[in-house]
Chains A and B, each alone.
Chain A
Amino acid sequence: MDLAAKLAVLADAAKYDASCASSGSNKRHSRDGKGLGSTTGSGICHSYTPDGRCVSLLKILLTNFCIYDCLYCINRKSSDVRRARFTPDEVVQLTLDFYRRNYIEGLFLSSGIIRNPDYTMEQVVKVARTLRVEHSFRGYIHLKTIPEAAPELIAEAGRWADRISINVELPDLQTLAPEKNIWRIRTSMTVIQQKIEQSKAERRESVKAPSFAPGGQSTQMIVGATPTPDRAILAQASTLYGAHRLRRVYYSAFSPIPSASSKLPLIAPPLVREHRLYQADWLMRFYGFDVAEITSEAQPDLPLDVDPKLAGAVRNVASFPVDLNRAPRELLLRVPGLGVRNVDRILGMRRWHRLTLADLTKLRVPLSKALPFIVTADHVPKLVAQLPAAQRQLDLFVPATT
């Protein structure tokens, strides 16, 4: 098989991983002309594919041969997909060739498991080591690690990589991935986290101390392959952000794969649901929302027709309306349609300027969404009963006995 044919197979096999981020690492450059590449801290998307996803890294598998049989995965051993395998040198060369032409920020390498976890991890680490040591490559490297691999190999992966990930895939992993174990994954994440923190502390003492995955670790969860509700998915994410300090949790709408196992749904990927999960994740990370505020026991799934912030506001209608000219930051952040940037702008100008609806239009606040929840110098909302039908339909809020 020639290089182009291998690339087709091994890019195709990698596309179910949603992450392509190249952000959050140390800043590096090669101004001295000795190496190649730089990282600026905030990643760059070099292209976008028609699925709306960013192309930032060369995201490929070293091989899609695999001895495991995870049912949701196109590369599982029982799948009849076409197989290919790169040599480590081929991946190194491709990365350098693409990088020099400014197609990518770096490499995201993962692999099916061949022979055994250690052998596979060694091959993956070899690519990263060759790039860093032989070519002084200073671009971004993201390595997917195998929790079953020896700790020394994971340690070396972190030495060369900017980011490390292990995919959780499913809160109820074992049902579909017989060889995998969520607790082993969580243990690996803990070990990695300790190394990240240790290296950060050492580097504060001395800049010469080796770095360890300075871009942190991330993971991915598949959505819609099993009946797991959003509440369980978000609870899992919340634990991962809290206990394991993960940098990012990615949600990937389960996408039908060729020759799928009969235990899986053969339907279009639930893209709206995936979008709502990202919105909820955002609310948890940047707005201080808690899982219990976004979903409930009775309604464990996020509504699809409205965004989670609006749904939450409708449910907690008693804490509205919020006076934009007086309310504290925490309350402003709960207003549907108001983002962090605009909240800060509003706070910045209130001392000198009383906000009106015209101002909000200028700030591009979606008024139709915000109006029922806010008070401005020239606006007091109508009663809740007069909310647009779409919001009432949610029947999430108990009409206050007015």
Chain B
Amino acid sequence: MFDGPMDAPAPALPTAKHRVPRAFVDMARRVACHRDLQRWALLYRILFRLTHGEGHLLNIAVDPDIHLLVRMEKAVRRDVHKMRAFVRFRTVTAEDGEAWYVAWFEPEHYIVEANAPFFTDRFASMRWSILTPDRCAHWDGAVLHFTAGLTRAEAPDADAVEPLWRQYYANIFNPARVKTHAMQKEMPKRYWKNLPEAELIPDLIRQAPGRVETMLARSHAQQTPGDSK
């Protein structure tokens, strides 16, 4: 059940035969990836309660243990999702002269193993590595394997396509509707340092009011006097 990536000990399971809801198994699998050390104690406590007269426990969303379980699960789930979103590959030339795609990512939780199949499903025809401080995942076109964590210095620092990506990012932004709060809610600042497009953000925000004013002035000038409402 706890096939989490960690070398931490799995909790002792009750010896007698017990049934727990499938939902708990799924949640426990994710919570096992959480960085917080209290995860094992929490999972054990809930497992104990589920098998000792509180079979309905998962329904009580306001129970302190369940509340914490749900919160931790959500944190892992979000981290998994953000990794899928914010990994940015850069190409390097491998020994055989062909491209190898390398990304640097800093996950909040221990999710590299759990998340790797998403990338093999999507990018199996490429060869790639995702480097993180905890674990690194590598796909050579046939086999997925993991190695120990690295530092950012090991990852490439540029890619020939990034200028085009930044160009796209700058131009798909509409300066007439700045909503930086909404942006930061979904793309918190801690991710920015590894997103090639994020370095444009301060300038885009700073220039926005001026761009809108220029545009309006130009439009007003073109509308003949008496024509505008």
Contact = CB atoms under 8 A, between A and B. Distances in A.
A97 B168 contact: no
Interface residues of A, number: 67
Interface residues of B, number: 70
B84 interface: yes
Contacts of B120: 31
Interface in A268-319: 268-269, 271
B169 A49 contact: yes
Contacts of A51: 173-175, 177-179, 182-183
A102 B87 contact: yes
A283 B168 CA distance: 34
Contact of B172 (A14, A45, A271, A359): A14
A52 interface: yes
A29 B183 CA distance: 29
Nearest to B99: A100
Interface in A327-351: 345, 348-349, 351
A11 B168 contact: yes
B interface SS class? helix
B180 A256 contact: no
B114 interface: no
Contacts of A36: 122-123, 125-126
A32 interface: yes
Contacts of A265: 229
B109 to A, nearest CB: 18
A30 B215 contact: no
Given A8-B167, A51-B174, A51-B183, A46 B124 contact: no
A46 B172 contact: no
A208 interface: no
Interface string A7-48: 111011011100000000000011111111110100011111
B195 A47 contact: yes
Nearest to A346: B61
A210 interface: no
B226 to A, nearest CB: 10
Nearest to A101: B89
Interface in B174-229: 174-183, 186-187, 195, 197, 201, 204-205, 208, 212, 215-216, 218-220, 222-224, 227-229
- Return the 8 tightest CB-CB contacts between A and B, nearest first: A52-B182, A52-B179, A29-B121, A11-B171, A49-B173, A38-B122, A345-B61, A359-B62
8 contacts: A47-B85, A47-B187, A52-B183, A53-B174, A98-B161, A100-B101, A255-B177, A262-B224
